[in-house]
Amino acid sequence: MERSRFLLELGCEELPERQIEIACNGVSSSFATFLKSNKLYCGSYKVSGTPRRIYLDALELDTHQEDEEILKTGPLVSVAYDEEGNLTPAGKGFLNRSQAKEATIFIQETEKGKFLAVKYIKKGLVTVELLKSWIPEMIVQIPFEKKMAWSQLGLIFSRPLRWFLILWNHKPLELDFGGIPCGNITYGNRFLGLDKSITINKAEDYLPKLLEQKVIADIEERRKEIITQLAAIFPEGNFKVIEDRELVETVVNLVEYPTAVVGEFEEKYLSLPDKIIISTINQAQKYFAVQDNQGKLSNKFVFISNGNPSASMIIRKGNEKVVKARLADALWYWNEDTKYPLEYWTRHLDKVIFQAKLGTMADKTKRIMQLVSALADELKITEEQKKKAIRCTELCKADLVTNMLGEKEFTKLQGYIGKQYAIASGEDREVAEGIFEHYLPRGSGDELPSTLCGAIVAIGDKMDTVAGIIGIGMMPTGSGDPFALRRAANGIVQIISSRKWDLDLFAFADRALELIGKQTELDKKAKKNLHSFLEQRIIGLLKTNGIAYDVIESVMHIDKSHLHDLENRAQALNALKGKEDFIHLVIGFKRVANIIAETQDFVLFNKDKLVEPEEINLYEALQTLHQDIDSALQNKDYPLALQYLIKFGKVIDAFFDAVLVNCEDDELRNNRHSLLKEVKKEFLRVADLSLIVLETEQKEAGKCS
């Protein structure tokens, strides 16, 4: 089979940085599907790009499909032929559809009967023609977040397409699609001139020739270049670019030929809190902040230019003006806001709607305050700690109505701004830190509140949101969670778990629902949905903490509301899973559960009807076990409780070895069933071991599947 190289470049106006990854993934996925559906081999291929181009470079691609033998089955012989052996209309129709002659057909015998059949060779298509059909389909199917459409041309893309470069076996491939120029012509960096074309005669020349024209087309190579330049930008070692991988991933798709340039702003702006400056530089301008060798934020910044490197100084002056203007705004906001204590701004919270049915941010703050007070009492913290938590709650949303956040330029700094304004107002340091931390965790893997204030207010705030939104019937869907309830509920269980609080989670959730109910009508299924939602978050936490799914299921029938206790119980069980004596215990308990599984009505157990020594011993050992389990559970010593069960497991084994439970005597059989019911009841106080999946059961399930 002959193979060739295929190169495709889609040239366009500048794509938004987020759309470049979408485009590359879309082209790559589509090409993989193209290869599979057309049964073509490709040695390797790469998809990458810049803001002005997306390219696909495929090596060792089959030049054509393999010829394929096709077996086509038609109607039953009894239907295809009449009594005289002539083809019926059904038989002739099959021949016509198969483009076959009567002499080529044969009888195919199957379990379902004898059928008319034909074999023929389907000639493989030429890859070039397949590519011509695939390219237009692929272009319009790229799942951009926003698309532009040219209905008369049949074009759909994120930005206007300007050219196609298509090489097949180093020769230009013509494609008539939307009137876009197509051939072996591409273009270099915009600053070199839009009319300066580059002729590509061989696919292997594509990347080197673009590099000559100040384009690093491969995203990976641009990323390496940016990281290298940032590391070397201050050779004296007096300053260092603050590492920001997320910003690198953004900037790499904003430029075609990166050049790192140092800029500066006036030192007076360093009086602003660090995160305000960094947010101005990073978030708004996509520049990198810089610190000195003492780790202190400096008045320098580094930006990645896509312009002519020789014009870097001119570009630098323009960027410095923009940074100065933004920092000047931030300083003005800061000065205006700090003319008043943070408490002053709380009076404006009644002008901000949290949710139409749930009222304003002032209403939300009042509800949080009641939840925080109740939580403080349940946790039995000191009066001084409770006062701090209440004060933190009073101020936690105040920054939302300040100029700094109200002007929508620094919305990602909510909480941090409140902390800084609280410090400037002379508030207690823990209260100030709590204002920032009550938003934590902001997502998966984020840090948790370090202060008691932050942890308590975080749980109060998040529970009010979760209970409120679910309470009015707005359960999150698979794709929709506008109030980030999953993140909030995950934060609740993570904080409780990390602090090992003995807190009744569901009672606390009910208290939050009760407060919501005083303000608006609750959905009929509010409590059920809220408990179910929180239960799923608990299960997710246990899985994240390495607890096996069957272990989780085995303890979820017990008190789920005390998360720390539930986690300890599950961890103790998880530690034993796989150990031989525990496996014997599980087998024995499953036997107990299986024997009485079909029993509907149990008689009242009568110890006087016990006959065999082993069943008498089982009953007596059960009385001892009950006392032992009582003691272990009272002390929350779950490893010890499980050891008592393991010891009792030997008694169960001896019982089954010697006693026929399902004997012919009804009285004996029914009484033994009742005894086993008591055994199961005792076990369920610790865990439902019938739900534990043993390795042998997993293997059997694998064979069945």
Q: For the residues 42-48, what does the mean pLDDT come to?
A: 97
Examine the domain organization and report whether 500 and 522 are in the same domain: yes
Tell me: do 490 and 579 sit in the same domain. no
Q: Which residue has the higher pLDDT, 254 or 91?
A: 254
Looking at the structure, tell me whether residues 97 and 58 fall in a common domain.
Answer: no
Say whether both 427 and 488 belong to one domain.
yes
Residue 178, sorted as left (phi over 0), alpha (psi -120 to 50) or beta, turns out to be left
Q: Which of 97-111, 324-338, 513-527 has the lowest mean pLDDT?
A: 97-111
The confidence band for 94, taking pLDDT boundaries of 50, 70 and 90, is confident
- Please state, in angstroms and as integers, the Cα–Cα distance from residue 231 to each residue in 236, 277, 279, 303, 311, following that order: 12, 21, 21, 13, 22
**What would the two tokens of residue 172 be?**
């230009």
Q: How many domains does the chain have?
A: 5
With respect to residue 552, please indicate whether it lies within any of the assigned structural domains. Answer: no
pLDDT at 193 over 90: no
Q: Band of the pLDDT at 488, cuts 50, 70, 90?
A: very high
Res 697: pLDDT: 59
Residue 613, number of CB atoms within 10 A of its CB: 12
**Mean of pLDDT over the chain:** 93
Does residue 561 belong to any structural domain of this protein? Answer: no
pLDDT of amino acid 701? 47
102 in the same domain as 130:
no
pLDDT tens, 522-541?
999 999 999 999 999 999 99
- Asked if residue 82 and residue 202 are part of one domain, the reply reads no
Count of beta carbons in the 10 Å neighbourhood of residue 197: 16
In a domain, residue 588? The reply is yes
Q: Which two tokens stand for residue 415?
A: 């909480």
Domain around 407: 343-545
Give the percent of the chain with pLDDT over 70.
98
Domain end, chosen from 305, 337, 369, is at 337
Mean pLDDT (whole number) for 671-689: 94
Work out the pLDDT band at 150, boundaries 50, 70, 90. Answer: confident
Within this chain, do residues 691 and 576 fall inside the same structural domain, yes or no? yes
- Same domain, residue pair 635 and 673: yes
The residue from 212, 243, 261 where one domain ends is: 212
Question: Looking at the structure, do residues 523 and 416 belong to the same domain, yes or no?
Answer: yes
Residue type, 169: N
The model's pLDDT over 577-587, given as tens digits with 9 standing for 90+, comes to 889 999 999 99
CA distance 287 to 279: 10
Query: Is there a single domain that holds both residue 34 and residue 147?
Result: yes
Type and span of the H or E element at 472? none
Q: Which of 310, 337, 364 is the last residue of a domain?
A: 337
In-domain check, residue 231 = yes
Beta bridge partners of 10: 54, 164
